[in-house]
Each structure stands twice: as structure tokens, then as C-alpha cells.
Structure 1
Amino acid sequence: MIPIKRGKEIDGMRLSGRLVAEVVEALRSIMAPGMSTAEVDRYAAELIAARGAKSPFLGYRGFPGNICISVNEEVVHGIGRDRMLQYGDLVKLDVGLVKNGWVGDTAATVVIGMGEAGDLKLIAVTRQALWEGIAQAREGNRIGDIAAAIERYVRAQGLEVVREFVGHGVGRKLHEEPQVPNYGRAGTGPRLKAGMTLAIEPMVNAGAAGVRLLSDGWTVVTEDGQRSAHFEHTVLITKGEPEVLTDPVTVGRSAEKDGATAGPEEGPGE
């Protein structure tokens, strides 16, 4: 069963979405060369606590971090440790927040300093792929419509989506039904209904689609060592346009108004 949110439940999701968007924006502003990923994680914990909230990632199936912070070839589920950020790094911030029992979940990819052309393309394609998927998150459509739109856009740009990890429903729990793949066939999967809240999150590789798990049991990296990008928003299905709950610019507005165009076992952030 896919949970349907109503009334004050949706208000709770809106609040959590707005707060987690604030956390990501604050993290983006403080990251710089020479800062460790452990420092970023600690700052995230402070930002979440300052909002009277908790991290749904910390302790999830034993995950040791407050957020997922993945650098360069790391795709998802990176742990804040002693890795020092360097000029030109691509940093993926996957952040969750629980406020009053409701989860907001979002992710963004940030370049430290000035990025090279290939990295900037990777970021731009992944961000736009997210909006391509969001544009299909309408009542009456199906999950496959979201998945197909993401895959079609990414592959048209000469890049590849990660298939092993997917988006998901989100609400009272970090992971709810349904799964939301970033690849697939339009017109397939569960039908979308108003009140559903989905975490849509394309992960895109500059090289091949394959990934592997490191020995820490959490960090997923590209199989060929090339870089990866990740963006995510929590989206509310409505009777009209999709409402993006975690975008710092468009909270409370539809995807259309912001210019959107017409796996295996889950980890903490996807």
C-alpha cells in the first residue's frame, strides 16, 4: 500500500521539506578546500538539531553518519570521515530530517571551487533529469512515466543512470512504497494519486552505469572510477502540478513554475 497524506499530514511534510532544504543550503555555503567530510557531517548534525529535528540516517541499519556525503567517484552512502575536500571535488550531500514525525529527504551535488566542463555537464544533466522526472509526477500518471523520463533525458546526453539504487516513497518513514527507479518503461508501475509523497533521485555516472560497494559496507562507487552526480527532491502529488517540498527556491510552488520540462536493499539516503 502506498500511503496517502492529507491535511495536517501534508503540512507536516511541507515543514520537514522546507527545513531540510535550509540545511542543504547552509552546508553548500560552508564547504571549502581543506575541510574534512567529518566536519561537514558534524555541522549538518548541528543544523538539524537547531531546527528541533533529528537525522533519519543516523543509526539506520547501522549507518554511522548524520548525512551521506559522497565525493567524486563515490555515488551514494559515503560516510563523513577524514577525507579532505579539495578544489574541484564533486560533493554529493544527501540529507534527511525528521520533524514532528515527518521526513524530508533531499540531495544535491556541489562542486568545490570551479568545476571542469565535464563535471559541470554531469551536474547540469543530473539536475535537469530530476526535473524531467518531477514533471511526470502527476495524478493519473504511473511510476514508469517518471522513470522513463529520467532515463530518456540522461541517455540522450551521453551519460548513464545508476540502476542499483532507486528513489522511494517518503513520509512517516524514510522509505515507504513505492520504489521509484531512474530507468524503465512509460505507462508501467503503480498509478500516482494525490497525497502521495515521493523522493525522486537520479544518480548519474559520467562513464559506465556499473557500481560497486566498498569494504566499509556502505560507500558505493562507480565501477570504472569516473565521477557521479546525485540530486533528489521530495515531491507531493496533487490534483494539479507536482509540489516540490524540498527546493529552496520553489517550496510551495509547482514544478512547472520552476521551469521543469514536459534495487537492491536500500541505504540510508535512497
Structure 2
Amino acid sequence: MNHDIPPALQTQVFTVPLRSAPAILRQIQPVMDRLKVKDYKDSGVPAIGDGLNVIRLSHHGNAHTGRWPLDCAQCGQDIAAVLRRLGVGRSVANSPSRLSYRDVFVLTRSGDLHDDVTDEAGRVTSPASGVVQGLKAAGVPVSVLGYQDWRHNEARWEGAVQDVAVAATETVTVARYNWVPGLERRVVAVLQGRHQDDDDEGLTDEETDLGDRLSAVSRCTTQLIMVRTPPVTTTTTPSLTTTTTPTTTTTHTTT
């Protein structure tokens, strides 16, 4: 973010992608086409390969709850299943390509993200967001960076941000993506969602999607996971208007 740059400092915009594979960069390109963002330049060095296919998960089906993936424990379990398939957290001796939980971000636009909120006696007064519950239920160690954490204990919040910046703990970081600007992870799951400001400003889902690509997808260097709610289609007849959603269940296919 560049909102509070001291006037004495010089700034430089870097436009050559150094780490993200072409498959990731293509997901960010719509932002370059629509928003006032500096386009990428050719580094002059050909990519070794196209990169891994994007994994797409659908927040839809009987087991799914809530309007958005953030609120859904099943989406958390679906992400955990993908991480298992990728071998995240699995001990592989002498493997330089081993993926650790610290290599993973789960990022959302929503400001409603939070871990369990407890009282002084340790009793849970507000359960964690659904996706956090699902990840934990699947055995994934999780650290959460959300507004509630900052509001309740700012000192602890600053320590948590520092831990995320240096990947100090062997946990998956679940965060609102504007809390982790400039940080990257090898595996990033992006949760589609909105927050109250989006509604107040009248932003469309297409516009919030561009924000997701700019601020969340760009955090990924290797494997991108997109978790989205299927679009609602509306069919109008002279006497009746019906709204339907696709009948497919959650999928773990790649494209």
C-alpha cells in the first residue's frame, strides 16, 4: 500500500514479475485492463513453464452454509482437502519442494473474519468464522488476522503481524488481504466475498473481483485456489420471475 509514504523517500514502481508463474499472472491481467495499475513488463527471461493450473472450488451445495465462503465450514474443509492433496504439512525427508503450512495464505476481502473470541475465563463468546472452523476441524493449524483481533488486543495484533511477515509459525495464515500487503506465499486460497463498505459504495461483484485479483491473487507465487459462489441466473417470463443457481456440487477440478 502506498498511502503513507514519507515525502523524503524516493519511490520506484516495480513492473517486472519476479516470482509468479504465467498462470498466476493471467489471473491478475484483468486488473491491468480495467484499473489504473502499472502493467507488467517482459523480464526478457522466458518462464520455465506455464505454472500450475488454478484450482477452483465452489461454495454451493447442501453442506455449504452462509452467503460467502468465509462463513462456510465446508469451504474450510474443502480447502483442507486440497492442501492434503498438495502434500502441505507432510514431512518429506530432504525434499526442497516440500510445502509447509507456513507457505499458505487464505485471504478474504471481508472484514468479518475472526478467530474464536473468548472471555476472561476462556469461554468462547463468539465462534470463529466458518472457514476457520472448517480448517481446524480438518486438522489444519491456523493463525487468524482479522479486525476483531486488532480491536481486542492491539499489542498482540502487532506481534501476530510480525510473525506472519517472517512466517515464524508452522500455521496457515487466514487474513483479510489488506492486512498482508506485499507479503507472498507459495499457495494462496482466495475467498470471494464482500464487506459493508462495498455495499455502501455500490460496488458490483465484478468490481470487488478486480480488487481480489489485485490484492489477493497477486500474493500467490505457485498454486492459486479460487473459492467462489456460483453466479445467480434470473429467468423472466410474463407472469413469473424465477431465480436459479447451478445444480453442481462443490468441485475440486482444475482449469
Q: Same fold (TM over 0.5)?
A: no
Greater Cα radius of gyration, structure 1 or 2:
2
TM-score by structure 2 length? 0.31
Name which structure has the greater RCO, CA cutoff 8 Å, separation 6+: 2
TM-score by structure 1 length? 0.30
